[in-house]
Structure 1
Amino acid sequence: MKIDEIVIHLQEQASEKYKNNVIKLGIPAENTIGVATTDLRKIARKLPKEPEFLLELWDTGYHECKILSVLALRPKDVTEEMVEKLMTEIVSWDLCDLFCKNILIKKDFDQYIQRWVSEESLYYKRAAFTLIASTSVHATISEEEIQKYLQLIQVQSNDERILVKKSVSWALRELGKTNETAKELSILTAEELLASENKAQKWIGKDALKELVTLVKVSGRQRLISDKSKMGRVAK
């Protein structure tokens, strides 16, 4: 399988609808082809796993090729040099989140959270909070770790950029779903943010509380879910 063959295959599956969706993310038209993520996942399963090949695919510059690279890369093959290269070339929230959830969360993720949470760069900062959100879903997390991440949220949540605010709210809500204790701690943090003089923190606190106060325990599920969901309404 050659890189140009993959690009041609993507172009054959392209649609203006999906291309326009990608352009709305801020990706230049010349850097997108227009293929749905569900189709990209199917293609990624057939790709060679060699990191050199996948980096070459990434370097085409096409958004879809970057997504394919992240989907096909094995976390164990991703070096620190590769992490830095890919992070500096991420220019959309969907690729940022995918890289975090597919690759970084399966590595020593806490080091990235601690290093990037105070970064000024938009996608480094979003990645830190995306990893916090993903940690509570994909890894075992202790009460001490939850409190540590809630403290980071309190200190680093005064960023007005919408992509950062949304990721902070997401992290806060996902931490709250861990268990009843985490829910109470997360609600307390959200209420403190809501009472802040900082507009970004007020927004985050208000947004997170909308879901946090609805969380309930459902038999057979480890994590809490919203009482607005079908299962949640039964448990309420």
Structure 2
Amino acid sequence: MLIPVEPSIDEQVDAALAWLQRHATKATLEGMARYAIPSDHAFGVSMANIQQLARRLGRDQALAQALWETGWYEARTLAAYVGEPARLTSAQMDRWCRDFDNWAICDTLCFALFDRSPHAWKKVALWAGRRDEYAKRAGFALLASLALHDREAADAQFIEGLSLIEREAGDERNFVKKGVSWALRSIGRRRSPKLKAAALATAKRLAQSPDATARWIGKDALRDFAKAARKRPAA
């Protein structure tokens, strides 16, 4: 009786890349430019199809690492859904963060993988102070993702996050300021009443700042909070 042989990591990567190529479309590839996503090393595969393949593959950290090393946009996106949070090392998170070259990869990794890692909170403080635009965005994208997903986190951790938001609110680079706003809005809409009040106070201070970028972030958050309040059903 023949014993089935599991395909090697290299074989799995080759099969995944072939699958992605088969599911690529010119329209998807061309559409990436409208969202400021580089397409020179991409196939043009929809997120729905990438997630479909991820479900078939399951969680496998070694495979995620190998997919990442290919450099293909879709393979790196796939790595976010295939990676195993508990096996993701601190050093590996830093290496991948240094590779970020667009907001979509940054946000997907933070939202679907990094925020489930035991190293996540340490990375928020570390990356928020980075000079690189996408690494710095990662600090705030990760904070936003934790606000949405980490139900065990203490309020004090997010209070520290609000301090980081105020500290870095003057960074005028597009993807940084939008990441900072996302973090502030997520804390103000998804956490405890105490944190919502603290986020609102932070947004009001920023909206009155003499710095134009900080004002934009504060007003962006205030608009979002007001919109959420209008949608909230009356008690």
Query: TM-score range with shorter-chain normalisation?
Result: 0.7 to 0.9
1:30-45 mapped onto 2 (5 Å cutoff):
30-45=40-55
Residue 120 of structure 2 corresponds to residue 121 of structure 1 = no
**Contact residue 40 and residue 68 of structure 1 kept, 8 A:** yes
Q: Does 1:100 align with 2:113?
A: no
The alpha carbon displacement at 1:26 in A equals 4.3
User: Does residue 159 of structure 1 match 2:176?
Assistant: no
Q: Which residue of 2 aligns with 1:218?
A: none
Secondary structure class of the residue paired with 1:86: helix
What's the Cα RMSD here?
1.9
Distance 2:198 2:16 in 1: 48
Q: Does 1:201 align with 2:192?
A: no
2:94 maps to 1:81: no
Which consecutive residues of structure 1, in runs of 5 or more, have no partner in the other structure? 215-225
Q: Which amino acid in the other structure matches residue 128 of structure 2?
A: V
- How many angstroms does 1:129 deviate by? 0.8
Distance (whole Å) between structure 2 residues aligned to residue 144 and residue 7 of structure 1? 43
Aligned-partner residue type, residue 29 of structure 1:
S
Cα separation, 2, equivalents of 1:83 and 1:145: 20
Alignment of 1:194-233 (within 5 A): 194-214=207-227, 226-229=228-231, 232=232
Q: Distance in 2 between matches of 1:148 and 1:28?
A: 33
For 1:190 and 1:168, how far apart are their aligned partners in 2? 11
Q: Residue in 2 aligned with 1:235?
A: 234
The whole-number CA distance in structure 1 between the counterparts of 2:188 and 2:36 is: 31
Partner of 2:3: none
Matched, 1:173 2:185: yes
Cα distance change, pair 55–189 in 1 and its aligned pair in 2 (3 A): same
Using the size of structure 1 for normalisation, the TM-score is 0.86
Aligned residues: 222
Q: How far apart are the structure 2 equivalents of 1:28 and 1:180?
A: 40
Query: For 2:104 and 2:96, how far apart are their aligned partners in 1?
Result: 14
Select which of 182, 185, 201 maps to 2:198. Answer: 185
Q: Kindly report which structure 2 residues correspond to 1:58-73, keeping only aligned pairs within 5 A, or say none.
A: 58-73=68-83
Identity %: 28
Deviation of the 1:24 alpha carbon: 3.8
* Residues 1:56 and 1:205: Cα distance change in structure 2 (over 3 Å): same
